[in-house]
Every structure is written in C-alpha cells, then in structure tokens.
Amino acid sequence: MLRQFRNYLVFLMAILAIWFLLGKMKIIPSFSDIFKSKAVQIDETPILIKNIKELAELTTMVSIDEVVVDSITADPTTLAIKNITGLSLNPFSSGYDQLVLVCKGRVIAGTDLLALSPENIYRKKDSVSLGLPPARILEIVINPSDVETFIEKGDWTTEAFEKVKIRAREKMHARALSEDILGKANARARFLMDNFLRQSGFTKVNVYTKY
Amino acid sequence: MAVDNVLQLKELSELATVEYTITKIIKASDDQTWYKIGDRKILMSCQAVVKAGIDLSKLKAEDITINEDEISVVLPKATIFSLNIRPEDIRTEYQEVGILRSDFTAAERNQMMSQGETQIRSSIESTGILQTAESNASLFIGQFLRQLGYKKVDIRFGNNSPKTNLN
C-alpha cells in the first residue's frame, strides 16, 4: 500500500517536473499563463488626413519632464447614501475615486519665422540685420504612451482621465517657464540665425529679438 | 506632488515646415480570454498633430556655395519631429460591455490609445508628409535668401534628391 502510494507520488512529481521544464522552455503554457488575462488588442484602422498647414517654426529648446498628478473625487453613490440614511459608509465603495498618473512629456519652444516681416530684414553689401519674433511655447507633448496609471480607484471616464492629463501639461508648462525656456530659446534662435547668415556669405551680422 | 529634478533642457536646431492633422478610430473587442464570459467592445477616436521639417544641425558649411549673387544650399532630408495626441482630442465614441464583464478601466483605454499611437507612427510616412516638408522648406528658405539679396537660389536635399530651382 505504502509502496503503491510512493509510486503515485513519484509519478505525480515527475509529471509536474516535466510540465515545469516544458513551461520554462515555452513549449507548453505555464500554469500562470493559462489564467492570465489577455491584453486587449486594437484592430488595424486607417489614418485620415484632416488638415495640412504650412509652418516655419524654428524649434530651439525642449524641456523633457516627468510629473505626477493626482485627482480624488467623492463617489456619488456614497454621497447619495449619506444624504438619505445619514450613514457615512457605503459597504460597496471605498468612498472616493482616485487617479494617480505619472506623465512624461516635452515642452517645445521656438520662434515662428512666418511672423518675420520683410521690414525686419535689412541688408547692405556684406552686412545684414535681422529682427526675430520672440520665442513662444510651440507645443507640449504628452502622448498616451507617455502616461503610466499608478493608481486607479473607481470609475474614470475618458474625459475625466484626459482632464487629469491636461493638469500634467499645465504643470510641465509652468516648470519649463520657471527654467526660463523662452529666454534660452530666444538666445538659441539668435545664435542659429547668426550662424546661418554668416554661412550665407555675410561678414557683419546683427541678429536681435524684436519684442 | 511633483517629481523634482527630472526636468532636462535640451537645445534643438529644427525647422518645422509642415503640420499634418490626422484622425484615427481605435476599435477593439475584448473576447480573447477563455474564462471570461461575454465580451466588451469599444470605439474611440483621436486626433494627432504631426510636425515635420529639416534638422538644421546637420547643415554644414560645405553645404552652402556662394558665387556673387547666386547661392546653392544642400539641405538635409526632412524628418518627422513630433507627434502630439492632445488629451482634448481623445474621445470614447461607443462601448458595449456584457453583463458579466466590468467596464474598461481608464488604464485599459489609455493602453489601447497607446497602440493607436504606434499605428499612427508606423503609417505616417505614407501620407507624403516628408515630401511636403521638403517642398515647404525649399519655398521658405528660398524666399528668405532672396530677401537677403540673392538673385539665383538653388536648393537641393541630400545628394540624390531632385533639384528644386527657385529663380
């Protein structure tokens, strides 16, 4: 009886060992893979061009940043129960919805050269003077792949989720301005245009920012 | 609650000459997990702004040739600078969730948008954005050089691209 039991045990351990080894070698799915929820895959869909716009933006500075933003809202069900019964606890809810995002992004600054008018360019023989428009924030990029959801409690609609991302964008904007990104972008634009004009054959070059 | 000391400022020398606004529908069905009963479907829409132009840091002194009032410039080939899917331009248009399934979470929707972003990145060049960027760069730089007094302006891209003459 004991011997039979030992044989069963050895047989079972051998089966488990073989399963484990084959799973490690990815020949058969491992135990955890069988009950693993598959990530949702989107279908291949075409892109559609909505608009084409001509630009002449001299991009001179970028601030690469990472911020954490959070948002907490009271759960409406909890509030309703509290209003009706006076009880502060809804057993089906933690009482609040919470979202914490870690967002990476880029604040891009530069000069819009389309705003450069002919009267801002003065040329005489080998001398040139150029008045550049002041630098501005051209765009702030936080794409879906730049966002990590650290905590998500409760229901968050797409609009509510995106509003939290907009707060991250505002935070990055403020941080970039506090680092004087526009002053540095102006200086960089003057340097680049000075170089370009010298390479274009001018020996006396004056590039300034026209505020 | 901000993570401090991660901000990094970098210098660039890019001339963006075109901006394409692109729309895309994100479509998904979640019925691939064998032990989950019922399925979930979602339709989202988004808009992406893509900018392209020329990287002036690749322009070298030998790329510019001057002969009295004639100038010849060999510009670097156009590249894509940025793709921006603004939060305001992301919407859930429709979703259907089986009674035994839970709604899509915000993290799941963002993960699907992230896949959509990858699809946009891989198909953006087929829209001809780089050709438009080069054409606009030729026009802008040609006009700028003529304002500087050059009568004959010759702009090319790379070594093998066709000549664009802006006389």
Cβ–Cβ < 8 Å for A190, A210: no
* B contact test, residue of A66, A73, A120, A143 with most B CBs within 10 A: A143
Partners of residue A155 in chain B, C-beta under 8 Å:
103
Q: What is the mean pLDDT of chain B?
A: 89
Q: How many CB atoms sit inside 10 A of residue A144's CB?
A: 22
What local confidence, expressed as pLDDT, does residue B162 receive?
43
Classify residue A191: in a domain, yes or no. Answer: yes
**Do A32 and A134 reside in the same domain of the chain?**
no
pLDDT confidence band for B89 (50 / 70 / 90): very high
Does residue B159 register a pLDDT over 80? no
Cβ–Cβ < 8 Å for B110, A147: yes
Q: Which residue of B has its CA nearest to A130?
A: B148
Q: Do A63 and B7 touch (CB under 8 A)?
A: yes
Nearest to B21 among A40, A50, A110 (CB): A50
* A contact test, residue of B1, B11, B23 with most A CBs within 10 A: B11
Q: Does A120 touch chain B (CB under 8 A)?
A: no
Partners of residue B113 in chain A, C-beta under 8 Å:
144
Q: How near does any CA of chain B get to the CA of A10, in Å?
A: 32
Classify residue A186: in a domain, yes or no. Answer: yes
Closest CA to B155 of B45, B2, B15, B1: B15
Does residue B163 register a pLDDT over 50? no
Distance CA A111, CA A106 (A): 17
Does residue A92 register a pLDDT over 80? no
What local confidence, expressed as pLDDT, does residue B167 receive?
42
**Do A61 and A158 reside in the same domain of the chain?**
yes
Q: Do A42 and B124 touch (CB under 8 A)?
A: no
* Residue found under tokens 């069905």: B29
Domain count across chain A: 2
**Which domain covers residue A151, as residue numbers?**
52-71+101-209
**Do A4 and A62 reside in the same domain of the chain?**
no
**Do A191 and A147 reside in the same domain of the chain?**
yes
Nearest to A42 among B26, B90, B132 (CB): B26
Dig out the tokens for A49 from the structure: 């061009």
Q: How near does any CA of chain B get to the CA of A51, in Å?
A: 5
106-145 in chain B: CB under 8 A from chain A = 106-120, 123-124, 127, 132, 136, 140, 144-145
* B contact test, residue of A145, A166, A195 with most B CBs within 10 A: A145
Q: Does B32 touch chain A (CB under 8 A)?
A: yes
**Do A19 and A67 reside in the same domain of the chain?**
no
What CA–CA distances, in Å, run from A97 to A54, A75, A94? Answer: 44, 6, 8
Does residue A147 register a pLDDT over 90? yes
Q: Do A201 and B71 touch (CB under 8 A)?
A: yes
Q: Let me know the angle formed at the C-alpha of A142 by B85 and A159, rounded to the nearest 5 degrees.
A: 65
Q: Do A147 and B110 touch (CB under 8 A)?
A: yes
Classify residue A197: in a domain, yes or no. Answer: yes
For a pLDDT cut of 70, what percent of chain B falls above it? 89
What are the tens digits of pLDDT across the range A174-211? 999 999 999 999 999 999 999 999 998 899 999 999 88
Q: What is the mean pLDDT of chain A?
A: 89
What local confidence, expressed as pLDDT, does residue A171 receive?
96
* Residue found under tokens 């990145």: B121
Q: Do A43 and B28 touch (CB under 8 A)?
A: yes
Q: How near does any CA of chain B get to the CA of A8, in Å?
A: 31
pLDDT mean over B143-166: 77
Q: Do B9 and A184 touch (CB under 8 A)?
A: yes
Q: How many CA atoms lie within 13 A of B133 on its CB side?
A: 29
What are the tens digits of pLDDT across the range B14-27? 999 999 999 999 99
**Do A137 and A162 reside in the same domain of the chain?**
yes
pLDDT confidence band for A88 (50 / 70 / 90): low
Query: Three-state SS for B160?
Result: coil
Over the range A109-121, which residues count as b (16 or more CB within 10 Å of their CB) and which as e? bbbbbeebeeeeb
Which run of H or of E encompasses A61? strand A47-74
